[in-house]
Amino acid sequence: MNKTPYFSMMNRLFTKKLSISILFVLLFTNLGYAQLFQQDFSSSTTVSTYANATTPTNGQFNAITTSGAGTVLSINTTGSNKLRFARTGNAGVFSRTTDFSGTPSTLLYRFDMTLSANSTAFTNAATFQVGSGFGTGNSTETNANTHSRFGVNFTTTAGQYSLRDIVGGTNSSNFTGTQTITWAINNSGATVTYRAPNGTFETLANDTQDVWVGNTKAFNDIAATTPTQSLTDIKFVISGANGTIDLDNFLINPIPLVPASSAATAIGSDSFTANWSTVSGVTGYRVDVATDSGFTSMVSGYDNLYVAGQTTSSLSVTGLSASTTYYYRVRGASQYSVGEFAGGNSSSENLTTSSGALVPEINVQGNSTNIVSGDTTPSTADDTDFGSVNAASGSVVRTFTIQNTGSAALNISSAYLLDGTSGFSITSAPAMSLS
């Protein structure tokens, strides 16, 4: 006769402690651009070092020139090195006519600018342009070759200037001192999002441009000059009034596109592992973790956290609280020695960490083999099949081991045989408490 003995144990709650894992899937695509342009003028005090007429690197212009002795070119070494155009006549120009590799459809174009020695008000004393088919001549490019542009207006106050939307014919407020200019340009055919200098996330319509001075948005979604032009060449010209312009810390790169997140996995009580698929065109990723959907209550250490490496695909997020809802988002980032650009956020995902409570967990073994909870099929492998025996003269003895694999003491209220198990007996009761 084959029969299986059962032990009745106390009711118990079991929460298995797991390592948490959140899967960020960045399913956005980007053209595989290398860095387009970066220069801080720190390597040399000779202007010609930073130009190469035929094969410029991603830190060189094709030309840095003047149209005559009225404009003097130099590297200003006060503080950090800066490219200086000191004009009392003629024109000064830098131009990059060798196309950026990959024909970017968006650009973030950033540099530091300082004006001095000006005394006469002049509209469009200097001009910045982006387009294609540019030359190295000492004048501005035609509108037909220019996708986007803005001007620099001098005032009568030394060191003071405003920016000009040349297409719209409007001016910004006035600025002084060294300011970081950030120029966002979109020629992608769709609205894009970028992380602005003030930390907000700004949308930019197709064939428009934003211009920032420091953390102030000077122009919002202003029209392109020629929307059909591409974004492969750059040019700067100072030709309209006397003054000195210092330029430094150039960084030009495409806007990283918005990634797509995925739901959290392997949720535990105090940590999780973030995973994502890698994308081209970035140097790493930025991750935010918060306790609210608006991302105003950020988790310490995970507010705009940079995760280095284009091929990096995971991040361990630790130090979390049990039974707490968390929200996360991720974005692509391109970080270089003179600064960083980041794109828009993925959609946010949310998860709730487990309770982390200390609980017992029972495990029963026969013949050193685990007996699965709820198993009612006798087996010789785990000694639950007792085989056949003469009930009058023989006996079969089996030993079953009760284990506690949980994190708190396991209390056994009793061990007894169920109805219908005549012929069986418990010869040695288990301990009533297992730590």
Domains of the chain: 1-17+357-435 (no CATH), 37-253 (2.60.120), 257-352 (2.60.40.10)
Cα(329)–Cα(343) distance, integer angstroms = 12
Residue 367 pLDDT > 90: yes
CB 22 within 8 A of CB 272: yes
Nearest to 6 by CA among 392, 367, 377, 368: 377
Helices H, strands E: what count in the chain? 0, 32
Give the full edge-to-edge strand order of the sheet including 21-23.
264-265, 21-23, 271-275, 314-318
Q: Tens digit of pLDDT for each residue in 240-282? A: 999 999 999 999 999 997 778 877 778 889 988 877 777 788 9
Chain centroid, CA 58 distance in Å: 23
Report the mean per-residue pLDDT for the chain. Answer: 88
Q: How confident is the model at residue 12 (pLDDT cuts 50, 70, 90)?
A: very low
Q: What pLDDT is recorded for position 273?
A: 81
- Mean of the pLDDT values across residues 232-237? 98
- In this predicted structure, the answer to whether residue 30 has a pLDDT above a threshold of 70 is no
Enumerate the β-bridge partners of residue 306.
286
Rounded-to-integer distance, Cα 284 and Cα 331, Å: 9
Q: What single DSSP character describes residue 36? A: -
**Half-sphere exposure of residue 172, counting CA atoms within 13 Å on the CB side?**
27
